[in-house]
Structure 1
Amino acid sequence: MTEVRPLRTGRGVLRLALIEALQPSGPRRHIQHLTIVHHAPDHLVGTFNDVYSAPSTALITAISERWLQEFRPDWWQRFPAHAFAAEDPAVLTDPQRYLHAAFADPACWTGRVKAADFGPPGRPMQAAITLPMDRLFTPLEANLLRAGFLPEVMEDRWFAYMLDDRLHLRRSWTGELIYVVELVAEGRALRARSVAVNADNKAYHMAPEAEERDRLNRLISGLLLCRWPSADA
């Protein structure tokens, strides 16, 4: 939610500006109207009036750490509070400060790395071998895949972006395209069905198939899915 504004109709209607982050085609901005039917010191009860669907009732309250851990463990595991504690120690005890640190910038949901964002255009694969894959990415993971990865320092050896429902992974130093992952939508999730691996020995020395798939899965998990180390690591 990026904005809340009363419509001043005298009927308790709020205009909410929202970003639906977890969509298979990427984040979507839209406007919802919420009619307040009950107001309490610690929560609101209201009805969403969407012209495209039946009215629905919502309970709105401040999020707690326990709620995040129980109902959104995927958020909590990939964006733990300790990852932001160096800049704001209060995130360890205040869920609202944590949410602000983790998700306050709408650019983190709407920003998308593009093929032209880094260096000159790389050449297409001169030779490729297609390997089958079967990996399901949750709605959160699908959103992180679509965000891509833009290298910032010499140690960042990969450049990743989505193009036409394919995940492209290039070497940042050489620009060589190494992997192209075919993805299909399943509800709000994405499933990887196959991957084209660069088989040109001048560009990349391909490993045996099982090793190549394992390397790619580890690369996606570490580079794109924001799997932070545990607090004890």
Structure 2
Amino acid sequence: MRIAKRDDWKTEAMPSASTNITVEKLYLQEEFDRITAGVIPEQMEDKWFIFYEAPWVYLHRSWTGFCIFKVRFEVVGESVKIAEVHVNRDPEQYSNTDHERDASMLSILLDSRARRDVRNEMLGYIKGQSKEL
């Protein structure tokens, strides 16, 4: 598996118009390894470019290169937890302003990379019933 690096795709820095949200998640080391391997888009339908530069995981929209999420992780015992999350709030780059939906979307993206079952989270997100995570 090829590990994604920043220079594998066009990226823009997280704008100053950003905010912090709380997302409480814990991952096993092997799940974290899958997350940090990242994602390099291979076709037009691939919407995200994801890469890791310790201690941050960056999640960019593939078509624009805009940084939507920036997530810092910390080791806790034999697991890894989300310690800090920045979310883009530049209305010209990202129109969402709902912290709860952002937390839900980020959880879906990270959990799917970790190979966790995200079907219920996806249904809740699609129905607009995302819960605080």
Same fold (TM over 0.5): yes
Query: How far did residue 227 of structure 1 move?
Result: 4.2
Give the deviation of 1:226 after TM superposition. Answer: 3.0
CA deviations 1:124-176 (Å, max 9, x no partner) are 32311001222101111111111111110000000001112111000000000
Task: Structure 2: state its 5+ residue gaps.
Answer: 119-133
> Does 2:14 align with 1:145?
no
User: Following the alignment from structure 1 to structure 2, what is the Cα–Cα distance between the partners of residues 139 and 201?
Assistant: 35
The one-letter amino acid paired with 2:115 is C
Structure 1 equivalent of residue 122 of structure 2: none
Equivalent position of 1:161 in the other structure? 51
Deviation at 1:196, TM superposition (A): 0.3
With CA pairs under 8 Å and 6+ residues apart, which has the higher RCO, 1 or 2? 2
Cα offset, 1:228, TM superposition = 7.0
Q: Match for residue 118 of structure 1?
A: 9
Aligned partners of 1:216 and 1:123: how far apart in 2? 18
The 5 Å alignment of 1:5-24 reads: none
Give runs of ≥4 in structure 1 deviating > 4 Å.
none
- Count of residue pairs the alignment pairs up: 118
Contact kept, 8 Å, 1:134 with 1:194, in 2: the verdict is no
Q: Does 2:62 match 1:180?
A: no
Where structure 1 has 5 or more consecutive residues not aligned to the other structure, the ranges are 1-107
Matched-pair contact (CA < 8 Å) for 2:89–2:97: no
Percent of residue pairs bearing the same amino acid type: 26
- The 8 Å contact of residues 161 and 167 in structure 1, kept in 2 or not, is answered as yes
Query: What is the root-mean-square deviation in Å for CA atoms of aligned residues?
Result: 1.8
| Rounded Cα–Cα distance in structure 2 between residues aligned with 1:124 and 1:133 | 18
Match of 2:19 among 107, 129, 140: 129
- Which of residues 110, 114, 127 in structure 2 aligns to 1:225? 114
CA distance in 1, matches of 2:24, 2:83: 5
1:182-223 C-alpha deviation (Å, 9 max, x unpaired): 11012342100221000100000123211211111012222x
Please, what TM-score do these two structures have when normalized by structure 1? 0.47
Q: Which amino acid in 2 is paired with 1:144?
A: R
Q: What are the superposed Cα offsets for residues 32-90 of structure 1, whole Å, 9 maximum, x if unpaired?
A: xxxxxxxxxxxxxxxxxxxxxxxxxxxxxxxxxxxxxxxxxxxxxxxxxxxxxxxxxxx
Bigger CA radius of gyration: 1
2:128 — aligned with what? none
Residue identity opposite 2:103 in structure 1: R
